[in-house]
Structure 1
């Protein structure tokens, strides 16, 4: 898929599911494996594009490590304040729900 096709698919998913945010991250391989956000819908700004994570770190890192989609309908019910602080996308976008 092309970037604009990903963006459209994410936008449709987010609107139909009623989430605050939906995004896709991808792997960048250098001397180590890193994850970067490629496209999103519902974002408040473009700061999410600056987030770079290692596998297992943050939301995208957890999805990559466990190889499963992540859907959270209530961030405050599912995450402690400490966990939110260690999830850059939750801080950058002040999310209440996401997929």
Structure 2
């Protein structure tokens, strides 16, 4: 039984609320799958999605938005996908391509001392997710999301 199943928390309802509250175009939650699946990450919940392609995306540590946030334990902000990633590298970020995101931020979700999920919020317009919007989102989100704790690894 996963952390998600144990919590009884309605993650779909919560990401729908987050999308409405902050006027994001897209919000999604990626979760680490059990050891028998080699700790891959999959997008489990989405709000504002164009289609169901997000469900077929499987990422390994260090690959894609969720994989990088999972591996580093640090949030990620991409203000302008075209400038920051570029068309040639977009295939490495399948959620961005699938949902046509142009500006986004992602947060690690912790259970004890391990990243076990990633919360992504984004826009389909460039530069809408800027440091001020992303910081406001982080601050207003609070310290928990269901079974997860939202915090950064201390900077050294």
Kindly indicate whether the alpha-carbon contact (under 8 Å) linking 1:11 and 1:41 is maintained by their aligned counterparts in 2: yes
Structure 2: tracts of 5 or more residues without a match: 1-6, 105-120, 122-156
C-alpha distance in 1 between matches for 2:67 and 2:19: 20
More helix by share: 1
- Greater C-alpha Rg: 2
Out of 21, 28, 32, the residue aligned to residue 16 of structure 1 is 21
Q: 1: CA distance between counterparts of 2:73 and 2:59?
A: 15
For 2:41 and 2:21, how far apart are their aligned partners in 1? 26
Structure 1 alignment gaps of length 5 or more? none
Distance 1:49 1:16, change over 3 A: same
- Higher strand proportion, which one? 2
Q: 2:97 aligns with which of 78, 91, 97?
A: 91
TM-score, normalization by structure 1: 0.81
* 1:31 CA drift (Å): 5.7
Which of 78, 82, 95 is the matching residue for 2:84?
A: 78
Question: 2:42 aligned with 1:36, yes or no?
Answer: yes
Please report the RMSD computed on the Cα atoms of aligned residues, expressed in angstroms.
Answer: 2.0
